[in-house]
Every structure is written in structure tokens, then in C-alpha cells.
Amino acid sequence: MLSLRYIAPALFAAAACLSPMSATARPEWNHGAQTENGQGPDGAGWGHIDAEEDAAARGHLFPYAECSLGSHQSPIAINLTQHPVAVNPGPKLEPPQADHNLPVEALAHPLQFRIHYDRSDSSREGLEVEADLHNHFVFENNGHGIQIAFSKGYRGRLSIGHDTYHLLQFHFHTPSEHLFLTGHSQNPHTVHYDGEIHFVNQSDDGRLAVVAVLLDGHAANSHSEFDRLIDRLSHFHSLEETGATAFCTEADCSGIRLNPMKLIPHAHAVYTYQGSLTTPPCSENVNWYVLDKPLPVSDRAIHALNHMFPYSNRFTQKVDGLGAAEPRQVHAFPYHPAVQHVRR
């Protein structure tokens, strides 16, 4: 999951990393397994990146330390077998990384979970969208991916029980970050989808809830809303993975109608667990909600998405992470879309 521009500075400093430091002092990073400042073969390499010289002088030596020291890191492999799985299938390690991945357990009291993402129209106002009280979104390229960032006045929301979370932005990863383990626990089959969308939602008190939608690029028919969006992102894409940020300010970047609800698949269940951001600073302040059914899209759209930022996924992290008192438990609950309350 990409970094959040909308979090208030004080909250971001508290939640972002083990030692708060200014955003301008954050060193560059990338998704490479064997590159300088990359995630490494286990997805924890970002934790060893040294700070810039001025930040190091103030004692902030490793701004992304939580990426390697955290006990509740994301993404993970979701265990759909009947027994614990003893290895983590994601990292590029030999021998495989040991783990104790418990099978999914049904919630005793299912959550009232409702997605209400309104339509919106694009704007070319750039960073000023943060204060825009109207219903707009912008195309933002932050150097690690392109995201759709919504205005302050956008009314799209996620309801979980009595809590409301406002949709801030959504972005993409290819291939998927979350994996699924199926079959026999002794030799499970690993299901790795072609991509993943993260819908980032935040409550008024700063809590984060991310809805993850898997992408299956083997659909017989194209997905018109997804294809149209990817075509627009491809037109805008211009920066390499350098950490720079840019907004689309061209005339043809305004007035584009988007219906995010069309990117939500017809799921039957939701898998939820406590985790982290999947990019630096890997802050562990995120509740994840992974839909069980993927969104069927065309291979052409996946190819175009992967061409913009190839291999933008973090490797799966251990469920029994460093320092964890016990393995994390993934829970499942039924998903019943409130169609009558959703504008499609």
C-alpha cells in the first residue's frame, strides 16, 4: 500500500515509523529484491536503509526500521487449508522462511460491513484537491505507482459496525500482494493473482481500514470501467520509480467520470486481520479487509498496469512476526452488499 498524503502531520509522525522524522528526510526505496534500497529477498530490506545525513545527525538512523522489526507486517498469505502451514511462501529464500500460519477462522459475530463509494469527476487541481470541498479526484504519480486521490469533499465511505471511514485514495500493485494457500496444509497450493487494488479509508480519529481487491487478468471479456481507468493512467504515466511526485494537470485530465463501486467484485466473504502499510514506513496501524473473490479484468489491462510500475508488490510477511506473542489470526465473515444503499 502506498504512503498516505492525507494523514495529518502529527498523526503521520506518530504512526509512520519508530523514530518520527520529516517527510523530506525520508530516503529513497524501491521494490527490488536485489537492488540498492530495495525490499530484499524477504520484503524486510527497507528496514536497513540508512537515513539521509541531516536526519542521521538527529538520531533518526533507520527511518523504515518497522519494515524489518515489526510484528504485524503486511501483506500475508491467507491460509484456506484446514491446518497451520509451516512456511511463508512469499519471500525468495532457500530454504523457505519458517512460519506458523493458522487457518482462517470464522468470526463469532460477523461485522456489519458496507462499502459506499460514490461517483466522482476528475480534476487537474493537483495538491489543492486536499482542501477541495467539492466531489473531485486527481491522478497522482508518487514515483512508486499511480493512485486516484479524492478531495476533502468526496463522500465515499466504508462502514464497519458503527464506525465510518472516508475513502482517501486507491492504488494498484502488480502482481497481487496477498496470497492464498489452498489444498493440503503439508503441501499447499499458492494462489497468486495478477494484481491488487487497495482502497485506503481513514476514520475521523485517524484509524486506517484498507479494502483489498484482487485482480484476475484472465477474464473472457474486458472490464469497461477498469480498462478506461487504466488507459487514462497509461496516458498520464511518465515518471520512473524515483520517489518523485507529480499530478496530471493536462486539460484532458479533468471531467472524467469514475464509479469506484464498479471496481468492487461480487464477493461472498471478507478476510480481516491486523497489519501494516505494505510500503515504507510499514506502519502497523492498519486493519485489512481482503475480499474473497477477484475482479475479472483483461490481460491487456494487467499488461498495461504492469508496464507502468512492474513488480510493485511487497513479498508476504510472516504471520508469527518478530516479537509477536502468538501468530496472528485471520478471520472471515460473510459479505452482503447493501445494494439498495449503493449508487452504481
Q: Distance from CA of residue 315 to its chain's centroid?
A: 13
Q: How confident is the model at residue 222 (pLDDT cuts 50, 70, 90)?
A: confident
Instruction: Give the 3-state secondary structure of the chain.
Output: CCCCCCCCHHHHHHHHCCCCCCHHHCCCCCCCCCCCCCCCCCCCHHHHCCCCHHHHHCCCCCCCCHHHHCCCCCCCEEECCCCCEEEECCCCCCCCEEEEECCCEECCCCCCEEEECCCEEECCCHHHHHHCCCCEEEEEECCCCEEEEECCCCCCEEEECCEEEEEEEEEEECCCCCEEEECCCCCCEEECCCEEEEEEEECCCCCEEEEEEEEECCCCCCCHHHHHHHHHHHHHCCCCCCCCCEECCCHHHCCCEECHHHHCCCCCEEEEEEECCCCCCCCCCEEEEEECCCEECCHHHHHHHHHHCCCCCCCCCCCCCCCCCCCCCCEEEECCCCHHHCCC
- Of 60-74, 177-191, 196-210, 221-235, which range is least confident? 221-235
- Of 127-136, 218-227, 301-310, 331-340, which range is least confident? 331-340
Is residue 105 predicted with pLDDT exceeding 60? yes
Is residue 205 predicted with pLDDT exceeding 80? yes
The reported pLDDT for the residue numbered 81 is 97
Q: Which residue has the higher pLDDT, 322 or 84?
A: 84
How far apart CA 121 and CA 132 sit, in angstroms, is 13
The reported pLDDT for the residue numbered 13 is 30
**Average pLDDT rounded to a whole number, residues 200-226:** 93
pLDDT in tens, 1-40: 544 433 333 232 333 332 333 344 578 999 999 999 999 9
Q: Which residue has the higher pLDDT, 250 or 195?
A: 195
How far apart CA 89 and CA 98 sit, in angstroms, is 9
The reported pLDDT for the residue numbered 128 is 85
Please, which contacts does 41-50 make with residues 24 or more away whose CB atoms are closer than 8 Å?
Answer: 41/91, 41/92, 41/93, 41/315, 42/91, 42/92, 42/93, 42/97, 42/315, 43/67, 43/73, 43/90, 43/91, 43/314, 43/315, 43/316, 43/317, 44/68, 44/73, 44/317, 46/280, 46/282, 47/282, 49/280
**Average pLDDT rounded to a whole number, residues 135-145:** 89
The reported pLDDT for the residue numbered 53 is 60
**Average pLDDT rounded to a whole number, residues 65-79:** 96
Query: Average pLDDT, whole number, for the chain?
Result: 86
Is residue 55 predicted with pLDDT exceeding 80? no
The reported pLDDT for the residue numbered 22 is 39
pLDDT in tens, 269-303: 999 999 999 999 999 989 999 999 999 999 999 99
The amino acid present at 293, given as its one-letter code, is: K
The domain segmentation of the chain, as residue ranges, is: 71-341
Strands 189-191 and 179-182: antiparallel
**Average pLDDT rounded to a whole number, residues 123-147:** 88
Q: What is the pTM of this model?
A: 0.89
**Average pLDDT rounded to a whole number, residues 178-182:** 98
The reported pLDDT for the residue numbered 186 is 87
The reported pLDDT for the residue numbered 7 is 34
Is residue 240 predicted with pLDDT exceeding 70? no
pLDDT in tens, 256-273: 999 999 999 999 999 999
CATH 3.10.200.10 for domain 71-341, yes or no, is yes
pLDDT in tens, 317-330: 999 877 677 889 99
